[in-house]
Amino acid sequence: MKKILDLITDEVVKAFEASELDVKYAKVSLSNRPDLCEYQCNGAMAAAKEYKKAPIMIAGQVAEKLQDSTVFEMVEAVNPGFINLKLSKEYLAQYVEEMAKDSERLGCEKTAEPRTIMIDYGGPNVAKPLHVGHLRSAIIGESIKRIGKFMGHNMIGDVHLGDWGLQMGLIITELKERKPELVYFDENYEGEYPAEAPFTISELEEIYPTASGKSKEDEAYKEAAMQATYELQHGRRGYQALLSHILDVSVTDLKRNYENLNVSFELWKGESDAQPYIPDMVQKMKEDGFAYISDGALVVDVKEDTDTKEIPPCMILKSDGASLYNTTDLATIVWRMKDYHPDELIYVVDKRQELYFTQVFRCARKTGLVSEDTELKFLGFGTMNGKDGKPFKTREGGVMRLETLIASINEEMYKKIQDNRTMPEEEARETAKVVALSAVKYGDLSNQASKDYIFDIDRFTSFEGNTGPYILYTIVRIKSILNKYQESGKNVAEEIILPAHSDSEKALMLELVKFNAMMENAFEEIAPHKVCSYIYDLSNALNHFYHETKIMTEEDTQVQASYIRLLELTKRTLEVCIDVLGFSAPDRM
Ligand code: ARG
């Protein structure tokens, strides 16, 4: 469906044409004085200069031409030269009805040019539990992916596991100390390795920090870990078998954790998958004359003349020939291009890595790893802080496990739900989880991603104000009205939506019709927070309408049916929006 703003503009364009004025002045926008009008056109001011007339004259002329338009119920020229517009109730109702007929997409068309977009928003490290630092990329990335899918793009999420480097050698070393008899350590062993891992996830999560601690104190231990890493990376069979066990156990656990967040990835690739591409990539960078030795290391210059601050060279190999975080990210670009030919690569990573990604992107472009029309985008997010304004920590000052955080919010939510009303234990637990997830996700997504925010459980879990639970509460309220309506023997019918009967009903319709433009814009600007502010406004409009209107006792059945259909559409719209944000609503709460 054409966007309402475009339809309105078309109408105003005709009036400019009829007045023999350049149509470039006919642009319409949402009113910034909702007390006076719904939409406005400010073009008369600029046109006045060109035509050397008073702006109010021009505005008046255009307004005159619009008096008979069926699109508007009010067109007013006001000083100094604004054209104030109010939509006709009939026209608005027709548009809303068209939306309601399109129950899947609510009038939002898919893109005519689908792009393949790969999005990197995981970055968890194998053998280490997910912690709050991973929460933001998961929440934001998942939402961007869903918004893109809704708009019809081919979105591919990649978890990009941190599964390469010293951490693996550390685990192997510690395991060897504890269980030297394991067959993985026998260099002469040539048989099959056991299918079962020699550790559980909780053991693994304990082994890693222990090993990491030891290596900081004990030089020989660290040497051994480095040696194990080297041997692993150079194909020692037993160690590679251990690596697959570490990966299996870890990935199973990670998947479970991400699932609880309603987050999923199309690809479960890791840093290790990029390693095979490194030698050829480096070779080519050298041959093409981009990479050169500086202080023993292999680097590529990435500074540009227009830089206002110093951008250091991108390091490709360390002086001992070892690869780095950079090397892996570059080689990852190689296979992503080769296997998927993406039009765009989006990285959702902590904004403190911005300089790093500037280097990587420039290096990838300069050395031709990406084709010219592939866009590289860095979406850096801010820090999640505690109430003290400092990065979120446990009470003891440590990094909080994601599971612990989620469990405590679930508990908080459960208490609230039990306070409100009693439902069976099992349902209350399930509902608490659903609502808690909305609290965490909405709390995060309603902020512009690049900003820091304060993680405030009390505020996020509140049923009032700009929160996830408030949005769900609104949906649940609608569901309950729809149920009552159906129970009264009536059908959520084929009746059509009638022109608004009140200001609050019209206000609700005016919010609804913004949907398609809002979604398009949220995608273009990679901005889930725009979806949040939209559903907050929409929920407010709905609740206002609800308080002002007797719906269940309305005697005119046609009017009542129209209300119901409007509610149903509002519910659908909210549901589509929360779905792209990555959460859902319960049936009651
Ligand atoms: N594993 C990294 C970390 O824990 C994050 C990875 C971000 N993604 C990337 N392609 N570099 O910091």
Nearest CA to ligand 1 atom 6: 123
Q: Identify any residues that bridge with 292 across adjacent strands, giving them in sequence order.
A: 299
> Hey, is 455 helix, strand or coil?
coil
CA distance 356 to 347: 12
Is 219:196 a contact under the CB 8 Å cutoff? no
Task: For residue 514, give both structure tokens.
Answer: 């913004």
Burial 348-358 (b: 16+ CB within 10 A, else e): bbbbeeeebbb
For ligand 1, say whether the CB of 571 is within 6 Å of any of its atoms. no
- pLDDT (0 to 100) of residue 127: 83
Helix (H) or strand (E) holding 300: strand 297-300
Tell me the mean pLDDT in the region 28-55.
Answer: 94
Q: Give me 421's structure tokens.
A: 């009303």
CA-proximal residue: ligand 1, atom 10 (nearest):
329
Residue count of the chain, please give it: 589
Q: Whose CA is nearest to atom 8 of ligand 1?
A: 123
What are the residues whose beta carbons fall under 8 Å from the beta carbon of 485, sequence distance 6 or more?
Answer: 492, 552, 560, 564
One-letter amino acid of 545: F
Q: Quote the pLDDT of residue 495.
A: 72
* Whether the CB of 125 sits within 6 Å of ligand 1: yes
- Angstrom distance (rounded) from CA 123 to CA 139: 13
Q: What is the pLDDT of residue 311?
A: 96
- How far, rounded to the nearest angstrom, does the alpha carbon of residue 40 sit from its chain's CA centroid? 32
Q: pLDDT of 64-92, one tens digit each?
A: 999 999 999 999 999 999 999 999 999 99
Q: Which pLDDT value is given to residue 401?
A: 87
**pLDDT classification of 394: cutoffs 50, 70, 90:** confident
Amino acid (one-letter) located at 466: N
> Mean pLDDT over residues 351-368, rounded?
97
Distance 340 CA to ligand 1 centre (A): 20
Q: How many CB atoms lie within 10 A of CB 27?
A: 16
Strand partners, 454: 385
At residue 463, the 3 state secondary structure works out as: coil
| Pairing verdict, β 28-30 and 39-41 | antiparallel
Beta strands in 462-546 (DSSP E): none
3-state secondary structure of 449: coil
User: Which of 119, 121, 125 to mutate for ligand 1's pocket (most ligand atoms within 8 Å of CB)?
Assistant: 125
Conformation bin of residue 494: beta by default, left when phi > 0, alpha when psi is -120 to 50: alpha
Decide if pLDDT at 233 tops 90.
no
Q: What is the pLDDT of residues 279-303, one digit of tens each?
A: 999 999 999 999 999 999 999 999 9
Residue 242 CA to residue 210 CA, distance in Å, equals 18
DSSP one-letter string for 314-352: EEEE-TTS-B-HHHHHHHHHHHHHHHH--SEEEEEEEGG
pLDDT at 133 over 90: no
pLDDT over 90 at 396, yes or no: no
Nearest protein CA to atom 5 of ligand 1, as residue: 123
Distance CA 586, CA 439 (A): 13
Residue 163 in contact with ligand 1 by CB distance below 6 A: no
pLDDT (tens digit per residue) in 301-353: 999 999 999 999 999 999 988 888 999 999 999 999 999 999 999 999 999 99
Distance CA 113, CA 106 (A): 20
Task: Convert 321-337 to b/e letters by CB count within 10 Å (16 or more is b).
Answer: eebeebbbbbbbbbebb
Q: Is the CB of 160 under 6 A from ligand 1?
A: yes
Provide the 10 A C-beta neighbour count for residue 29: 12
pLDDT in tens, 144-191: 999 999 999 999 999 999 998 888 999 999 999 999 999 999 999 999
Q: Give the three-state DSSP class for 461.
A: coil
**Structure confidence at residue 217 (pLDDT):** 96
Neighbouring CB atoms inside 10 A of 343's CB total 17
Gyration radius of the chain's alpha carbons: 29
| Sheet order of strands, 291-294 included | 291-294, 297-300, 314-317
Whether residue 259 is predicted with pLDDT greater than 70 in this model: the reply is yes
- Whether the per-residue pLDDT at 493 is higher than 70: the answer is no
Residue 118, SS3 per DSSP = strand
Cα angle vertex 178, ends 174, 181, to 5°?
A: 115
CA distances from 6 to 12, 27, 314 (A): 10, 9, 46
Q: What is the three-class DSSP state of 9?
A: helix
- In angstroms, how far is the first alpha carbon of the chain from the final one? 35
421-440 pLDDT, tens per residue? 778 889 999 999 999 999 99
* Residue 356 CA, closest ligand 1 atom number: 11
162 within ligand 1 shell (Cβ under 6 A): yes
Name the residue with tokens 């459980």. Answer: 457
Say yes or no to pLDDT of 492 above 80: no
92 CA to centre of own chain: 31
Distance CA 374, CA 430 (A): 43
Could you give the percent of the chain with pLDDT greater than 70?
99
Confidence of residue 560 (pLDDT cuts 50, 70, 90): very high
Q: State whether residue 515 is helix, strand or coil.
A: helix
pLDDT of residue 494: 65
Ligand 1 centre distance from Cα of residue 203 (Å)? 24
Which residue has its alpha carbon closest to ligand 1 atom 3? Answer: 123
pTM: 0.95
What residue has token string 């990009």?
160
Residue nearest to atom 11 of ligand 1 (CA): 329
Q: Which of 163, 34, 12, 27 is nearest to 503 (CA)?
A: 34
The mean pLDDT of the chain is: 94
- What is the atom index within ligand 1 of the atom nearest the CA of 329? 10
Could you tell me what percent of the chain has a pLDDT over 90?
87
Nearest-atom index, ligand 1, CA of 332: 10
Structure tokens at 543: 């609740």
pLDDT in tens, 501-557: 999 999 999 999 999 999 999 999 999 999 999 999 999 999 999 999 999 999 999
The tokens for 319 are 């002086």
Enter the DSSP assignment of 193. P
